[in-house]
Chain A
């Protein structure tokens, strides 16, 4: 074992960091960061730390089903639920605090048709026929649990590890730890399937107490993928070029006599980077370059599947170009939330997301990208076996399902279990911290060894808790 593996970041001089350069979107921020070296004399970024161990995944695509998909209607069949439907939950089940107080409401049957799929024979309901076809690539984790009982806390926790706001999200930690592989594109990109804003808004992809350079950048499909990428109205490319030239001269003159101040140089570079982004980003998001077959694979041409399919296809193009972490919200604004009319709600949500999700997995696989691209599927919590308003289900943070695929994950396995009604996770329970630790593990990062010093204290992505489920790579 290599005794030199650093527990945190190493010491680099400003100059050294700048000379190394090329570390991209975040890198421009380095000089600013280094204005503040911490208590242990360490630079505020571990960008050149080698992985803690060999990574299996190089990039992540996180498909966030926002609002809370019902695990007991999708991946975790519960025969007892249908037997007891209409009755109160037996006394033997511990009562949780739920968002809507539905603890004693009658149990709601799952009317789904369940089948085992693939060689692995994992259960998937008829709501997800296309995902079912990829089941041999999935590690279905049935024993997830979290603390936040409401959307805000739940979404916040699934992103940042805790229900209370203020911490950096997983994507920011990955960005901080690994940086981008393409300096002309952001390392961490966020998309939503509709124009709706996810619960909590931009703080879901915020860098919290870490510098803003690590936050997610929102990408909107269309003429201007990133904010302010295009020239303002009325400015011709010729005028723009003249302005940049005048700016360069002003900045060079300003820098004379201030040569020691690396921020100034970094600022000049930030304009060069902006210029290159203006050139490169439009190509990266140009879906016109994809074949008709590929577009169909993602559900183009169908009003229901195309919006999410577009995000999934963009995600593939971005990770191909070196983007490290892509998060896509499906059902942005809690659309999976089904306190009533489950049947209509989940039918629609599944119709929209199932085919593009499978399309993404298939496309990644056929291009050889799935081997080192980790795909994560899940929401902020699951749903209760107890009914709400007769035909809906309340939030269930104490047991729910997510899946991971690619990036070293052994497909065709089912991890953990919930109790007989799907209320509480019981076997191989994986808290959000454990899930995050597992993601980081697959990326070659040990969750307690990735440290950012904030207010002098060593902060880690999983708040000094969490253990990677390392068996995910072997089954």
Chain B
């Protein structure tokens, strides 16, 4: 097949990057040619050369955020700057905006969007009554001030960072500390912590604010990887962990799929393999910590200096003790035991902690998680002269006890560095050492790293990374975040692939608007609440979902001449049903609750990776193993069966029926009206009221269920209805 051979030769000629397209030796010629075409089309040859091309540098996401002038379009309709940009595109496409949504529709939409909960009847009534100017703005302010705002927003963030309360893998051990991160996120959103600060804490809280417990908890961002407690191939597991934190940082904060460049230069984006390892090098010194002191630099320094003095004075004593104790301890290690490791790892474990390199410390401590030692049993394990010697050394060491510093309070399940000297990061195969650096297209040199105070025993690398990511001139960070917020409120980001701003993602539909929002976000002190407010008070957001010309000419609603109709997310379905039935327990914060039997908000449930909650999973809650930028929205028979036949849904219906029967005793019409408004936010039409009464009659008349049961069946139907499951 000369043509196929030619195609392969061409692939070779294109260099390493092109080669990937021709690795499937069994592939058809057609497929090869097609890939070649896609390659050319997408890249225009951009990544074949080591140098970046003009096209790379001009890719929209890598260009600086522009200061954009708000257009003059949209007079008479526009309420804020957003609308001017939207109106200009609408005019260009000859699309009139939709009418404003009616108040009942709007309050249901904005309540679900900002708090994840349906409006109560009292909220609806108050909003309908308030016909003074600014009523809607005040409603938005109330919602943003509600503690439920943070609970709703946290859901998005927890999806992004693959938060879970368990390890994954076979045993799926519970992580008793992880919930503190969830509460930290909720708290951060509720107090409107500036986004740049929020990011810096999560990447490097231990370096930038070591005395702040919250900042340390924030670093759990770097602990959410899945973890196999008995993985004897410790070094491979550690490599995967470093890859995971590198990938998730790129996905969440930069909106770039770095992992493509782990094994080879990125095929589509200007991310050479070296850049992947430049980025990973920031995390190379990472050390998972389950006892991390909370102390200011001054406090940490005091403790450090005292400890140093004690260590120096006792060095020889401790060396001798180690020589006696360690064989007696490791020989009878508990848990998974010591003997199952390969020799290389055993050697690292046997080294005295102060003699280990940073890398040896990482691997040894990761290995030590697999077994326990029992120093309390040393007296019975040691015998004879050894025991006498040991007792003598112990007593001598004890005499130095008074020189030991008072320990600082601790937090668990966080990270620090393994020491002030980072282990080398090397390119796979080539083996070249790589220094920490940012995406070289944006910032080609090595990163400038300022070592933190010595007492922190840290490299300062993650602080440098956090500084670059949150630098207002970083073209990705602000764009990525405002685009995520836009996706929440408009169903789809201005750039449709919220975590891929590279060449495989769709370019933004409204690039000027995206830049205007990004610049505004930074100018507003990275305030998320201000950005939410700007978006949900726009005329664009407040449109009705019906608009004939737009539905005809723009079925995908790219130009936003109407509000999108959206299915409730899994948490909204569950919380919504509990809210409607009157059973929702609004207590906030604290350790996660088990799936069964709790009526707390869904965000407070334990997320066990291997045993997902049925309602959550059925309605597309992600697996919490990988980063999830935008949930799938499926419509399945499984969902229908769950809502129709599960005991759980029926219990909600019964609870609602009891609530109604109590509040509107003996008044079927009032019961129906209240149920309808609770579930849908709307009063029933008279035909619907008649249908409902006929249904209650028929169920009752047939002598099947008594009145309360008939009412429960009616409520159950409402809970299955599209008017409940979708938001206009």
Q: Which residues of A contact B (CB under 8 A)?
A: 1-7, 13-14, 25, 28-29, 31-33, 35-39, 52-53, 95, 97-101, 103, 149-153, 164-166, 199-203, 206, 208-213, 217, 226-232, 234-236, 238-239, 242-243, 246-247, 249-251, 253-255, 257-261, 263-264, 266-268, 270-271, 273-274, 277, 437, 441, 446-449, 453, 455-458, 464-465, 467-468, 470
**Contact assessment for A255 and B228 in the assembled complex, using a CB-CB cutoff below 8 Å:** no
Interface of B is mostly: loop
Q: Which residue of A lies closest to B226 (CB)?
A: A165
Contacts of B640 on A, CB cut-off 8 Å?
A: 267, 270-271, 273-274
Q: Which residue of B lies closest to A213 (CB)?
A: B634
Contacts of B228 on A, CB cut-off 8 Å?
A: 150, 152-153
Contacts of B625 on A, CB cut-off 8 Å?
A: 165-166, 203
Give complex CA distance A236, B641 in Å: 16
Given A150-B170, A203-B609, the answer on whether A210 and B632 have CB atoms closer than 8 Å is: yes
Given A230-B645, A455-B500, the answer on whether A270 and B721 have CB atoms closer than 8 Å is: no
**Contact assessment for A254 and B722 in the assembled complex, using a CB-CB cutoff below 8 Å:** yes
Given A166-B623, A234-B705, the answer on whether A1 and B636 have CB atoms closer than 8 Å is: no
Chain B proximity of A296: nearest CB distance (Å): 34
**Contact assessment for B20 and A464 in the assembled complex, using a CB-CB cutoff below 8 Å:** yes
> What are 21 A-B contacts with C-beta separation under 8 Å?
A3-B30, A4-B30, A28-B636, A37-B556, A39-B504, A208-B623, A227-B614, A227-B646, A229-B645, A239-B705, A243-B713, A246-B695, A254-B721, A255-B722, A267-B725, A446-B24, A455-B499, A455-B500, A457-B500, A458-B504, A464-B20
Instruction: Mark B215-239 against chain A: 1 for CB-CB distance below 8 A, else 0.
Output: 0000000000010101111000000
Give complex CA distance A266, B637 in Å: 10
**Contact assessment for B641 and A235 in the assembled complex, using a CB-CB cutoff below 8 Å:** no
Contacts of A32 on B, CB cut-off 8 Å?
A: 567, 632-635
**Contact assessment for A211 and B634 in the assembled complex, using a CB-CB cutoff below 8 Å:** yes
Q: Of A33, A200, A457, A464, which is within 8 A of B170 by CB?
A: A200
**Contact assessment for A250 and B30 in the assembled complex, using a CB-CB cutoff below 8 Å:** no
**Contact assessment for B636 and A457 in the assembled complex, using a CB-CB cutoff below 8 Å:** no
**Contact assessment for B35 and A7 in the assembled complex, using a CB-CB cutoff below 8 Å:** yes
- Is B421 an interface residue, CB under 8 A from the partner? no
**Contact assessment for A52 and B699 in the assembled complex, using a CB-CB cutoff below 8 Å:** no
Give complex CA distance A38, B172 in Å: 34
- Is B34 an interface residue, CB under 8 A from the partner? yes
**Contact assessment for B637 and A228 in the assembled complex, using a CB-CB cutoff below 8 Å:** no
Give B78-97 interface residues, CB cut-off 8 Å to A.
none
Report how many A-B pairs have Cβ atoms within 8 Å: 282
Given A32-B632, A200-B169, A213-B634, the answer on whether A274 and B704 have CB atoms closer than 8 Å is: no
**Contact assessment for B641 and A229 in the assembled complex, using a CB-CB cutoff below 8 Å:** yes
**Contact assessment for B35 and A251 in the assembled complex, using a CB-CB cutoff below 8 Å:** no
Contacts of B639 on A, CB cut-off 8 Å?
A: 270
**Contact assessment for B30 and A150 in the assembled complex, using a CB-CB cutoff below 8 Å:** no
Contacts of A95 on B, CB cut-off 8 Å?
A: 342
Give complex CA distance A251, B725 in Å: 11
Q: Which residue of B lies closest to A278 (CB)?
A: B641
**Contact assessment for B636 and A249 in the assembled complex, using a CB-CB cutoff below 8 Å:** no
Stretch at the interface among B490-498, B520-528, B591-599: B490-498
Contacts of A149 on B, CB cut-off 8 Å?
A: 231-233
**Contact assessment for B546 and A258 in the assembled complex, using a CB-CB cutoff below 8 Å:** yes
Given A35-B491, A249-B691, A260-B555, the answer on whether A232 and B698 have CB atoms closer than 8 Å is: no
**Contact assessment for A242 and B699 in the assembled complex, using a CB-CB cutoff below 8 Å:** yes
Contacts of A7 on B, CB cut-off 8 Å?
A: 31, 34-35, 38
Contacts of A274 on B, CB cut-off 8 Å?
A: 637, 640-641, 644
**Contact assessment for B618 and A212 in the assembled complex, using a CB-CB cutoff below 8 Å:** yes
Contacts of A28 on B, CB cut-off 8 Å?
A: 635-637
Contacts of B416 on A, CB cut-off 8 Å?
A: none
**Contact assessment for A257 and B567 in the assembled complex, using a CB-CB cutoff below 8 Å:** no
**Contact assessment for B722 and A251 in the assembled complex, using a CB-CB cutoff below 8 Å:** yes
- Is B25 an interface residue, CB under 8 A from the partner? yes
**Contact assessment for B26 and A467 in the assembled complex, using a CB-CB cutoff below 8 Å:** yes
Give complex CA distance A458, B339 in Å: 43
Q: Which residue of B lies closest to A231 (CB)?
A: B645
**Contact assessment for B610 and A200 in the assembled complex, using a CB-CB cutoff below 8 Å:** yes
**Contact assessment for B502 and A456 in the assembled complex, using a CB-CB cutoff below 8 Å:** yes
Contacts of B257 on A, CB cut-off 8 Å?
A: 455-457
Contacts of A165 on B, CB cut-off 8 Å?
A: 168-169, 226, 609, 623, 625
Give B236-277 interface residues, CB cut-off 8 Å to A.
240, 251, 257, 260
The 7 closest A-B pairs by CB, nearest first: A456-B500, A101-B340, A152-B170, A456-B497, A260-B551, A211-B632, A456-B505
Give complex CA distance A449, B720 in Å: 39
Chain A proximity of B703: nearest CB distance (Å): 11
Q: Of A4, A206, A259, A264, which is within 8 A of B722 by CB?
A: A264
Contacts of A37 on B, CB cut-off 8 Å?
A: 496, 556
Contacts of B410 on A, CB cut-off 8 Å?
A: none
- Is B62 an interface residue, CB under 8 A from the partner? no
- Is B33 an interface residue, CB under 8 A from the partner? yes
Contacts of A455 on B, CB cut-off 8 Å?
A: 251, 257, 497, 499-500, 627, 629
Instruction: Mark B462-506 against chain A: 1 for CB-CB distance below 8 A, else 0.
Output: 000000000000000000000000000001100011011010111
Q: Which residue of A lies closest to B499 (CB)?
A: A455
- Is B702 an interface residue, CB under 8 A from the partner? yes
**Contact assessment for B169 and A152 in the assembled complex, using a CB-CB cutoff below 8 Å:** yes
Contacts of B362 on A, CB cut-off 8 Å?
A: none
Give B14-44 interface residues, CB cut-off 8 Å to A.
20, 23-31, 33-35, 38
**Contact assessment for B626 and A101 in the assembled complex, using a CB-CB cutoff below 8 Å:** no
Contacts of A208 on B, CB cut-off 8 Å?
A: 623, 626
Chain B proximity of A245: nearest CB distance (Å): 8
**Contact assessment for B565 and A264 in the assembled complex, using a CB-CB cutoff below 8 Å:** yes
**Contact assessment for A266 and B635 in the assembled complex, using a CB-CB cutoff below 8 Å:** yes
Q: Which residue of B lies closest to A149 (CB)?
A: B233
- Is B545 an interface residue, CB under 8 A from the partner? yes
**Contact assessment for B685 and A199 in the assembled complex, using a CB-CB cutoff below 8 Å:** no
**Contact assessment for A468 and B26 in the assembled complex, using a CB-CB cutoff below 8 Å:** yes
Given A152-B170, A251-B722, the answer on whether A213 and B636 have CB atoms closer than 8 Å is: yes
**Contact assessment for B721 and A203 in the assembled complex, using a CB-CB cutoff below 8 Å:** no
Given A446-B24, A457-B257, the answer on whether A263 and B565 have CB atoms closer than 8 Å is: yes
Contacts of A206 on B, CB cut-off 8 Å?
A: 623
**Contact assessment for B545 and A209 in the assembled complex, using a CB-CB cutoff below 8 Å:** no
Instruction: Mark B632-665 against chain A: 1 for CB-CB distance below 8 A, else 0.
Output: 1111111111101111001000000000000000
Q: Of B168, B232, B505, B698, which is within 8 A of A99 by CB?
A: B232
- Is B341 an interface residue, CB under 8 A from the partner? yes
Contacts of A238 on B, CB cut-off 8 Å?
A: 702, 704
Contacts of A152 on B, CB cut-off 8 Å?
A: 169-170, 228
Give B135-164 interface residues, CB cut-off 8 Å to A.
none
**Contact assessment for B504 and A457 in the assembled complex, using a CB-CB cutoff below 8 Å:** yes
Contacts of A2 on B, CB cut-off 8 Å?
A: 30
Give complex CA distance A268, B635 in Å: 9
Chain B proximity of A271: nearest CB distance (Å): 5
Q: Which residue of A lies closest to B336 (CB)?
A: A100
Give complex CA distance A332, B25 in Å: 37
Contacts of B565 on A, CB cut-off 8 Å?
A: 258, 261, 263-264
Give complex CA distance A201, B551 in Å: 43
Q: A7-B34, A242-B713, A448-B24 are in contact. List 5 more A-B contacts (CB 8 A).
A: A39-B506, A261-B565, A437-B26, A446-B31, A456-B506
Give complex CA distance A234, B627 in Å: 42
- Is B7 an interface residue, CB under 8 A from the partner? no
Give complex CA distance A424, B551 in Å: 61
Q: Which residue of B lies closest to A100 (CB)?
A: B340
Contacts of B551 on A, CB cut-off 8 Å?
A: 259-260
Q: Of A258, A266, A277, which is within 8 A of B545 by CB?
A: A258
Chain B proximity of A23: nearest CB distance (Å): 13
**Contact assessment for B20 and A239 in the assembled complex, using a CB-CB cutoff below 8 Å:** no
- Is B717 an interface residue, CB under 8 A from the partner? yes
Contacts of B303 on A, CB cut-off 8 Å?
A: none
Give complex CA distance A25, B698 in Å: 33
Give complex CA distance A465, B23 in Å: 8
**Contact assessment for B634 and A29 in the assembled complex, using a CB-CB cutoff below 8 Å:** yes
Contacts of A271 on B, CB cut-off 8 Å?
A: 640, 644, 720
